[in-house]
Structure 1
Amino acid sequence: MLTVIFGLSGALVFGSGDFLGGLASKRMGAFLATGIAGLIGLFLLIGFTFIIPGEISDGAIVWGLLSGLCGAVAILLLYAALAIGPMSILSPLGALISAIFPVMWALLINGESLVWFGYVALVIGAIAIVLVAFTPEKEAVKPKARGIIFAVISGILIGLFLIVLDQAPSDAGIYPLVFNRFVNITIMFSVVFGIALIRWAHRKGYFGKDGSPRADLVVGDAGATDYRNGILLALGCGILDATGNALLLLGIQTGNLSVMSVLTAMYPAGTIILAALVLREKITKLQLVGMVLALTAAALLALS
């Protein structure tokens, strides 16, 4: 029961953080927004270590650093896939794979087992993931092979992120996430710095128009940046993301990886609910069905 509470609440917090992160990215660029969110998340996670007991060990450090690498690369590929589109296909594809991959690992490699209706719940949860994340686009185009590859690899890496966190010592507390954040912010700010150099070189004339990269896609258009609101949104995103990660890790430490991976992949529900409340975006009937199925799956998993 405790694992389901951690999983569902973590998914909702994750989705809410993604909502703020998306708004921040529109104002200041995805990499800069993610870097700032990661920085504030690092400070928050360090604060969590004073509340949640844990021990620093070689395992906590190594698995934490590896999870940070998996998570950072997964985010980069996910952004690339969604930029290629269509989001209505690639987003649920990545979410579904992010759940299936660790479930297969847990059942086949770790030897986890559930009662029969627990397996039914996993199937229902997988269907719920697709329905919740599915947002039909008008005149949706057929996905390109590159977009599908990026989405699949991103989903695998998100699943690998969960698997790696599951390897951390059970007495590590939140410390693996602290080291995770060190890797994440290092990569993100390195990318931001590199793109800033490219922009500088472009202004100096070192790149021709045809050869200049689209830096505005990841750092923000210089004429459309809103750093004040972007930073505030990124700070909120960092707080929610760190909290969601903490709930995820606690869920993994107290329960089965297979259960947590399915529950965590339901994170789009949090984004959709906030978008409906704040931006007045319409929730489709399919998404409502998906949310009902998600709650049904969670109830069955709690009983299993």
Structure 2
Amino acid sequence: MLGVGVGFGVAAALAWGMGDFAGGLAAKRIGAMAVAAGSQLAGLALLGLLVVALHPEAPSAATVLLGAAGGVCGGLGLAALYRALAIGNMGIVSALSGVGSAAIPLAVGVGLQGDVLGPFQVLGIGCALVAVAAASGATTRGLGRESLLLAGLAALGFGLWFVLLDLASEQNRLWALVASRGTAATLIGIVALPRIGRVALRTNAGLIVTAGVADVSANGLVVLAFALIPVGVVASVAGLYPLATMLMARVVLHEAVPRLGMVAIVVAIAGIVLISVGG
């Protein structure tokens, strides 16, 4: 089951990387909050369709509260990330947020929840963190103070989201995601929607919907992985999403991948293999 859980984590990283790429492009055009609000609503609509189709049993209060708390953290993290992507270097911003979002649940899982990691998993997680750090060094332009602070806020928000959704999804995975996404969409929507022009949303609808669907798909994959492997391992593998963003920039925008970026990709693959091998 370890390999399946890691597979879910890798798929989540690819989905998040695609979502960040699409959201980052849209944020440069119409602003971070507009993209965050639109993508949250798109993801919530997808979850609503799943609820109608699957008819899950009513959630417990703990699932709703923990999911909502995760939504607050994740929503703030997403808004901070899109703002940082809009004003800073996409590769560095994604990488810094990826390192932090992996480190927080890893520390909580090992330090507070008693997760036990085998030697190969420890080496693999180390490779994953090194790969994301290398991805941040693979670009030539630095970050301003605002971008750095926003990337740190995004990392904190995403890291806490991992921890809270891991707890919320123990009883009902789908309702945990609905509570999280519904809370985030409501908070961001209240702030952003009154100031968003309809024309701006329509002209960038493709990117916004792509970002929202990719994000909620990654959330679902991560929640599935929680049932199979420790939260710290999930976060470390899924935290490789900056590499997917880098590859998307290469394919779509024809940006060159620096040597250090190639090193990051190779180290990331090694990390995934080591984590899959397990204890």
Indicate the residue corresponding to 2:175 in structure 1: 175
Whether contact under 8 Å (1:128, 1:290) holds in the other structure is yes
Query: Aligned partners of 2:31 and 2:233: how far apart in 1?
Result: 34
Correspondent of 2:249 among 275, 278, 286: 275
Indicate the residue corresponding to 2:40 in structure 1: 38
- CA deviation profile, 1:20-46 (whole Å, cap 9, x unmatched): 112222343322222222112112123
Indicate the residue corresponding to 2:127 in structure 1: 124
Cα displacement (A) at 1:103: 0.7
Correspondent of 1:26 among 19, 25, 28: 28
Greater percentage in helix: 2
Q: Normalization by structure 1: what TM-score?
A: 0.81
Query: Aligned partners of 1:288 and 1:105: how far apart in 2?
Result: 31
Q: Which amino acid aligns with 1:239?
A: V
Q: Which amino acid aligns with 1:95?
A: G
Q: RMSD in angstroms over aligned alpha carbons?
A: 2.5
Query: Aligned partners of 2:243 and 2:46: how far apart in 1?
Result: 24
SS of the residue corresponding to residue 254 of structure 1 reads coil
Indicate the residue corresponding to 1:214 in structure 2: none
Correspondent of 2:234 among 244, 254, 260: 260
Whether contact under 8 Å (1:27, 1:227) holds in the other structure is no
Answering whether residue 143 of structure 2 is matched by residue 113 of structure 1, we say: no
Query: Aligned partners of 1:54 and 1:19: how far apart in 2?
Result: 35
Query: Aligned partners of 2:142 and 2:17: how far apart in 1?
Result: 26
Whether contact under 8 Å (2:77, 2:155) holds in the other structure is yes
Answering whether residue 92 of structure 2 is matched by residue 94 of structure 1, we say: no
The percent of aligned pairs where both chains have the same amino acid is 28
Query: Aligned partners of 2:55 and 2:21: how far apart in 1?
Result: 27
Correspondent of 1:230 among 204, 227, 243: 204
SS of the residue corresponding to residue 173 of structure 2 reads coil
Whether contact under 8 Å (2:12, 2:222) holds in the other structure is yes
Q: Normalization by structure 2: what TM-score?
A: 0.88
Query: Aligned partners of 2:153 and 2:271: how far apart in 1?
Result: 26
| Structure 2 CA distance for partners of 1:242 and 1:88, relative to 1, 3 Å | closer
Cα displacement (A) at 1:265: 1.0
Query: Aligned partners of 1:7 and 1:132: how far apart in 2?
Result: 18
Query: Aligned partners of 2:55 and 2:219: how far apart in 1?
Result: 13
| Structure 2 CA distance for partners of 1:88 and 1:173, relative to 1, 3 Å | closer
- CA deviation profile, 1:76-116 (whole Å, cap 9, x unmatched): 33345556656665543332121111111111111111111
Answering whether residue 60 of structure 2 is matched by residue 57 of structure 1, we say: yes
Indicate the residue corresponding to 1:159 in structure 2: 159
SS of the residue corresponding to residue 234 of structure 1 reads helix
Answering whether residue 270 of structure 2 is matched by residue 296 of structure 1, we say: yes
Query: Aligned partners of 2:47 and 2:156: how far apart in 1?
Result: 25
Cα displacement (A) at 1:7: 0.2
- CA deviation profile, 1:213-255 (whole Å, cap 9, x unmatched): xxxxxx58x9xx7543301221122221111111011111221
Query: Aligned partners of 1:109 and 1:26: how far apart in 2?
Result: 39
SS of the residue corresponding to residue 204 of structure 2 reads helix
Whether contact under 8 Å (2:67, 2:176) holds in the other structure is yes
Correspondent of 2:78 among 75, 78, 81: 75
Query: Aligned partners of 2:224 and 2:264: how far apart in 1?
Result: 25
Whether contact under 8 Å (1:55, 1:171) holds in the other structure is no
Query: Aligned partners of 1:274 and 1:86: how far apart in 2?
Result: 14
Unaligned runs of 5+ in 2: none
Whether contact under 8 Å (2:8, 2:224) holds in the other structure is yes
Indicate the residue corresponding to 1:208 in structure 2: none
After the TM superposition, which of the residue ranges 78-87 and 155-164 deviates more from structure 2? Answer: 78-87
How many residues are aligned here?
275
After the TM superposition, which of the residue ranges 92-101 and 52-61 deviates more from structure 2? Answer: 52-61
SS of the residue corresponding to residue 170 of structure 1 reads coil
Which has more radius of gyration?
1
